[in-house]
Structure formats: structure tokens, C-alpha cells
Structure 1
Amino acid sequence: MQDLVKPLNPNFSSGPCSKRPGYDLASLRTDVLGRSHRSALGKKVLEEACVKTAELLGLPEGYRVGIVPASDTGAVEMALWSLLGQRGVDVMAWESFGSGWVGDITKQLKLDDVRVMEADYGVLPDLNAVDCNRDVVFTWNGTTSGVKVPNGDWIADDREGLTICDATSAVFAMEMPWEKLDVVTYSWQKVLGGEGAHGVIILSPRAVERLETYTPAWPLPKIFRLTKGGKLIEGVFKGATINTPSMLAVVDYLDALNWVESIGGVNATIERSNQSLAFIEKFVAENDWIDFLAKEANTISNTSVCLCVDTSPENVKAMVKLLDSEGVAYDIGAYRDAPPGIRIWCGATVEPSDVEKLLPWMAKAYQQVTA
């Protein structure tokens, strides 16, 4: 196997994800470190992160961006506990994280009027069966299944319910129809390769209206509260975070946003992910021992690319271990709840050329473990 060229960066983890090309800790600003996040400087930096996010994503007028605790999970939980209960809910799950939201809605919130739409790994539920006059909870991209929704055409423009979208492995890598999405959550440690522990929540004006006109029947912990006296706490979306953030993680996020801007914006980050996927699509077409976990071509994720290998689970683990020991690819085993296989992160911070270099090594590893 030594005759093959190794990827320059072997980090293909699906989270925390690879840092951006050329990343250097020394390039991060340090004037905000050791300062209060409530200081004028701290608020300015936090607000800059919110404003720059909105600008790069091209959010519609009136959409708000806030930095919240506990990564994407915290952002989703905040939305579920703060917004649900006013009307019936349709919740979709086709992989582990969506199944987690089903559990929260049915077993923790214990809502009465819930329709659960589930599908096995590799396929989507029937999107046309969704009733958009109910609240809808779904993941845009199944990080552990490699299956994404192909578009937002199934979401009604004149819907009465809210769409609550966990988009942590989609934002900055896939086209998002913002006008059809009322709540979008993500963590910057995914497509942007930022640090963990912080989440981002994006609210549409419709979501803000719900927050200001509806009070859930259950108590809300402080870290979930987005309103006070029946009004949105606007400060959360202007740099006044609910709890103390890591300012080092915030300046790291700003570094990632500046990188996105420098390469041409979101169109460029989407193209990088698509290019990586294109290399894998060609490889899969040329090798009959490997295939996508996603059954339909238009649902194949271009970030969390999940692959099935025609061999035993033990051999798949041996492949993963071999590629790790060779320093070729780290952390590419399938998620623990997913079918045995390989998962290659192809978010924007991964160089497509490194994905291309990885593939011949995968073929050699397969040959070696199945010989």
C-alpha cells in the first residue's frame, strides 16, 4: 500500500470536523480572551458572529441568528420545548438523531397529538404525507445515515404550522430554502470545522410570533428561555448570550466565517462538498463491492457520505483500523447505531483532493482484509 499517495489531511471525522485548510491557531484574534462576554468588546464580537452568519447565508429580512448553549442538540431542544404544544406535530426520523427528537417529543414533552413518520436507514419517510398545517420537526440531512431531503418543495408556502429543521450537517454545504424554514439549528463544529459546545438557532418572523403569543404548559429552564414578559429577548440575537460562551470558540468561528467569505461564500462551500461527493460517486460506480447507504440518488448526502461494503462487519472494522494505522483516514467508521459501514465526512473544510487520494487506499484496504 506504500505506493499510494496519502491525503495531506487524514481527518474525516463527522464531528468535530476537520479544521479549514491552512488553519493556524496563531491567526485567531486574542484581544477578547480573558474579557467578559458582557463587555462592549465581548458583545461586539458575539454580535459580529450573528450578523456575519446572516449575511453569508443570505437570510431573508427579519430572520434572527442567535448563539445558544449545548451545540446543535441544545438549539433543537430549545426550539422543541419553547415552541411545540400549540398544535399537532408531525415529526420525521430516518436515522439516530431524528429518532432522538421523536423520543423527546413523545416521551419527555409527552405531547398528545403527534404523528411519527419513520423510515429505515437509507430511505426517507413519505414527505408528501406531511401536513404543514401542523408543526413539522425534521433533520435536513441525516448525519448518521447519509440521507438528506432533496429539496423543500414538499413544504407549503401557506403553511399554518412551523417547520423546525435540524440542519447541523447541512448549513453551509447544501441549498437551504430559508423562506420555507421557520427554525433552523446547527453547530459550527460541523461544516465549518469550528469548536464544539455551542449551537446556532435561526428564527423566522413566524417563529418569533409563536414565541410571543404562545406559552408552553411546562416550565422552561433558564437556558431555554427566549422570551421575557411575552416578548422576544432581542439581546440573545445581538450578542447577549443566555450563558457564558467560550470566547475562544467564538473567534474560532469568526475565523471560519472569514474563510468562507474569502473563498467566495456559501456557493463555494457547497461546491467543495459536491466535488468531494463526485469523487466518491465515480469510485462507487467503478467498484461493485461498495455502495451508498442512501437508496435514491437525489437523497445522497454531500457531507456525511455513508457507504455499505460487501463484506462482514468484522472486515469493515478491519478496513477502518487499517486506514487509521496507516495515517490515511481517521474516524471513518459508521455511527454506532447505523448499519456497519464507512462514513466519510465531506464538509467544506475537507479538501476534495484528499477525498480523491483516500479512495484508492480504501480499495487496497478492502482487498487486503478480504484476501
Structure 2
Amino acid sequence: MANRAYNFNAGPAALPLDVLQNAQKQFVEYGDSGMSLMEMSHRGAIYEKVHFETEALLRELLAIPEGYKVLFVQGGGSTQFAMVPMNLLRAGSAAAYVATGSWATKAIEEAKQFGEVAIAASSEADSYKRIPAIGELKVPANAAYLHLTSNETIEGTQWTEFPDTGSVPLVGDMSSDILCRPLDVSKFGLIYAGAQKNLGPSGVTIVIIREDLIAKPEGVVPTMLRYATHAKADSLYNTPPTFAIYMVGEVLKWVKANGGAAGMEARNREKAELLYDTIDTSGGFFRGFAEAGSRSLMNVTFRMASEELEKQFVKESEAQGFIGLKGHRSVGGLRASIYNAVPPESVQALAGFMRDFQSRNG
């Protein structure tokens, strides 16, 4: 399709072109209903079919075992920063967190409003350039859960393996890398993910929660902030973000048609390796931010010799149709977000631009 940008936005991010075109065809009239899906009651049979098919596809693609509920909620990952401690913390227990960067830090600060927080491990002393080794984790005996951020979009780091936390529920913020690779859901008590990077548009958040963790919270928790509310009503307690859920379902169909989670991992590794190789063979012209063993498959972060040169890089890249390469405002630098839907051709074009830019400015 002509005039499609090379979209490297960090989120909301690229969606598969096939999905967008199919949604366009169905936007005004869904099936033979005489109306758009956006106009339908969430209590009607047509929408309910979309709702439960989307859940079933997610269960299939992530191999979610029995004993877990899948919830569609609103408020993004940032609301989950509060919902997790509000629902899981108990008197005398502590919320344990691994501090790996900007998003983990935000989750930690939110949890402090609800009770005791313990830092099980941190890479702050290393400027969050790495993920702590599993052996570094020190989980307190009274931990209600251990929370980790599986991928840090701003620093460009990602967990390559997850700890076995035994009887302590493991909670994962997977907003930026869910379904980028196969996942053993059984290691987790709770997983949450905003949809707007790998699963669909903004507006819906996925929660996968082990059923034994769905209980009445201690203290006063608003009805809409209780996991039990959404679990009991199959995420239909109130009007859900119906169109966003429909779009998640369409993206999941695309993932399945392209090899599922394993297919996404092969695709993502190929893209990431091309960019990291371009950085590593530049003779220092481009410098990767994250340590090699912690590099993200989703967010490739790098720097150049000066901020002036980085600004020039961004300006020239935008003129050639590359969008979203400026690093997060809190850290600067450069970042290419290469989520599932970013085509390999876009990454190849970026690698070519990087080599050309170096040849003219190195």
C-alpha cells in the first residue's frame, strides 16, 4: 500500500496492514447486521460471539492452562499498577518488586500507596542497562507477590527467562512484549498487558489471573477495581471497549496465521538481530544502550556521539518516512520499537538508512 510510514512508534504502535484493511471493510457494517460493531449492544449475541472468540484465541496462542481467568479491562497498564496491590496485598505482607527501569519504577511508586514495598532486586546502579540475574533476587518471606516488568520500552531491556517463585505469586507487566514469543503462563499468578503494542489498539488491557488469586480484597476497593467483579461477569459487568476487543481478536487471527507465538519469535529475532548487528558493526558510530545479555526484542535503544547528531538523525529519518525513532523524553537517545506487526521490510529499510547516515556523517 502506497504512503505507509515506516512505523517505529513505541505505543500506540504498528498494526498489521491486513488487519486494518479487514477492519475497514467491516467498519460500517459488521457481517449482515445492518450496523457497525461499534453501535451494537455488548449484551447482544453478535458482540458476545466476538468477545468469547477473542478470549478463546488468546487462550490458544498463549497456551493458557486451566485454572486461569482472562479478563478484558480498561485503564491501561498504569491502572494495573494500583489494582495489583489493591487486590493482592494483605495485612502483614509486603509487595515485592524488581526495579528494572522506568515502568517498573512507576509500578513501585504506585504500590507504595497501598502498603509495604520491598525491592527484591534492582539494576538502578547500572543505569537500568541490564536485567538482574535470577540469582540476585531476594524475595522477603512475607511477600504477597513478586512483580516484574518483562520488557522495559524506554531502556530497551527484556527478561530472557523468568524466576520460579514457588508459593509466592509471580506478577508480570507484559504490556510491551506479550505474544512476542512463547510463554509458560503457569509460572505466573497474574499477567497484565495493555493491548496497544502487540495485541491491538489502545483502550483495552488484558489480565490473565490464576483463579485462586481472585478473592475479595482487604479493605475498601471500588467495585470496578476488583478482579472478582470482572471475573464473575466474564468482563461484561459494564460496557467493555467493544471495538478494541474486536481488533484484538483480529490481530490474534493474524498471529495464528503467521505461526503463532513461535512464528512471532522467529520474526522478531530476525528483525532485532539485524538492527543490533548494524549497531555493533558501526565501529562505535552507533552505541547500544542495553547490555548485550539484556537486549530487548521489542525496543532497540541506541545513542550516537552527540545530541546534535541524534537530532539530525531523527530529522533526516522523518523526511524519509521513518516515524517514532526519537528516544523517550526522559532519557533521550534513539529507539526503534519493532513489535510483532512491524514488517521485516521496515526494519531492513531502517538498517539501510542507518548505514547510509553513517557513511555521510561518520
Fold equivalence (TM over 0.5): yes
Question: Structure 2 counterpart of 1:220, which letter?
Answer: V
1:201-280 matched pairs, under 5 angstroms = 201-204=207-210, 208-212=211-215, 215-217=217-219, 219-227=220-228, 233-236=231-234, 239-240=235-236, 242-280=237-275
Q: 2:158–2:296: 8 Å Cα contact kept in structure 1?
A: yes
Q: Find out whether 1:145 has 2:155 as its counterpart.
A: yes
Q: Find out whether 1:70 has 2:75 as its counterpart.
A: yes
Q: CA RMSD in A?
A: 2.3
Residue 44 of structure 1 corresponds to 49
Residue 115 of structure 1 corresponds to 119
- Per the TM alignment, residue 71 of structure 1 is displaced from its structure 2 partner at its CA by 2.2
Q: Residues 21 and 233 (structure 1 numbering): CA distance in 2 closer, same or farther, change over 3 Å? A: closer
1:353 is paired with a residue whose SS is helix
CA distance in 1, matches of 2:309, 2:253: 42
2:329 is paired with a residue whose SS is coil
- Per the TM alignment, residue 28 of structure 1 is displaced from its structure 2 partner at its CA by 3.8
Q: How many residues align?
A: 344
Residue 195 of structure 1 corresponds to 201
- Per the TM alignment, residue 58 of structure 1 is displaced from its structure 2 partner at its CA by 0.9
- Per the TM alignment, residue 349 of structure 1 is displaced from its structure 2 partner at its CA by 0.5
Q: Residues 332 and 42 (structure 1 numbering): CA distance in 2 closer, same or farther, change over 3 Å? A: same
Length-normalised TM-score, structure 2: 0.87
2:146 is paired with a residue whose SS is strand
1:67 is paired with a residue whose SS is strand
CA distance in 2, matches of 1:51, 1:92: 31
Q: 1:319–1:366: 8 Å Cα contact kept in structure 2?
A: no
Residue 336 of structure 1 corresponds to 329
Give the one of 334, 343, 346 matched to 1:351: 343
2:72 is paired with a residue whose SS is strand
Residue 319 of structure 2 corresponds to 325
2:214 is paired with a residue whose SS is helix
CA distance in 1, matches of 2:3, 2:153: 23
Which string of whole-angstrom CA distances, capped at 9 and with x for unpartnered residues, describes residues 224-273 of structure 1? 12226xxx84323xx52x43233222222111111111112111112111
Q: Residues 82 and 351 (structure 1 numbering): CA distance in 2 closer, same or farther, change over 3 Å? A: same
Q: Residues 7 and 303 (structure 1 numbering): CA distance in 2 closer, same or farther, change over 3 Å? A: farther
CA distance in 2, matches of 1:142, 1:76: 15
Return the structure number with greater relative CO, CA threshold 8 A, min gap 6. Answer: 1
Question: Structure 2 counterpart of 1:330, which letter?
Answer: I
CA distance in 2, matches of 1:60, 1:227: 19
CA distance in 2, matches of 1:356, 1:198: 31
1:227 is paired with a residue whose SS is helix
CA distance in 1, matches of 2:192, 2:320: 36
Q: 2:82–2:111: 8 Å Cα contact kept in structure 1?
A: no
2:339 is paired with a residue whose SS is coil
Q: Find out whether 1:84 has 2:97 as its counterpart.
A: no
CA distance in 1, matches of 2:346, 2:140: 41
Q: 1:132–1:155: 8 Å Cα contact kept in structure 2?
A: no
Q: Residues 52 and 282 (structure 1 numbering): CA distance in 2 closer, same or farther, change over 3 Å? A: same
- Per the TM alignment, residue 37 of structure 1 is displaced from its structure 2 partner at its CA by 1.0
Q: Residues 265 and 132 (structure 1 numbering): CA distance in 2 closer, same or farther, change over 3 Å? A: farther
Give the one of 58, 62, 68 matched to 2:63: 58
Question: Structure 2 counterpart of 1:186, which letter?
Answer: A
- Per the TM alignment, residue 132 of structure 1 is displaced from its structure 2 partner at its CA by 7.3
Question: Structure 1 counterpart of 2:317, which letter?
Answer: L
Question: Structure 2 counterpart of 1:210, which letter?
Answer: L
Q: Find out whether 1:19 has 2:18 as its counterpart.
A: no
Residue 313 of structure 1 corresponds to 307
CA distance in 2, matches of 1:28, 1:132: 52
- Per the TM alignment, residue 126 of structure 1 is displaced from its structure 2 partner at its CA by 4.7
Gaps of 5+ in 2: none
Which string of whole-angstrom CA distances, capped at 9 and with x for unpartnered residues, describes residues 101-127 of structure 1? 110112x22x13523633222122353
Residue 3 of structure 1 corresponds to none
Question: Structure 2 counterpart of 1:37, which letter?
Answer: H
Q: 1:72–1:198: 8 Å Cα contact kept in structure 2?
A: no
Give the one of 298, 302, 313 matched to 1:303: 298
> What percent of counterpart residues are identical?
20
Gaps of 5+ in 1: 1-5
Q: Residues 316 and 7 (structure 1 numbering): CA distance in 2 closer, same or farther, change over 3 Å? A: farther
1:114 is paired with a residue whose SS is strand
- Per the TM alignment, residue 304 of structure 1 is displaced from its structure 2 partner at its CA by 1.2
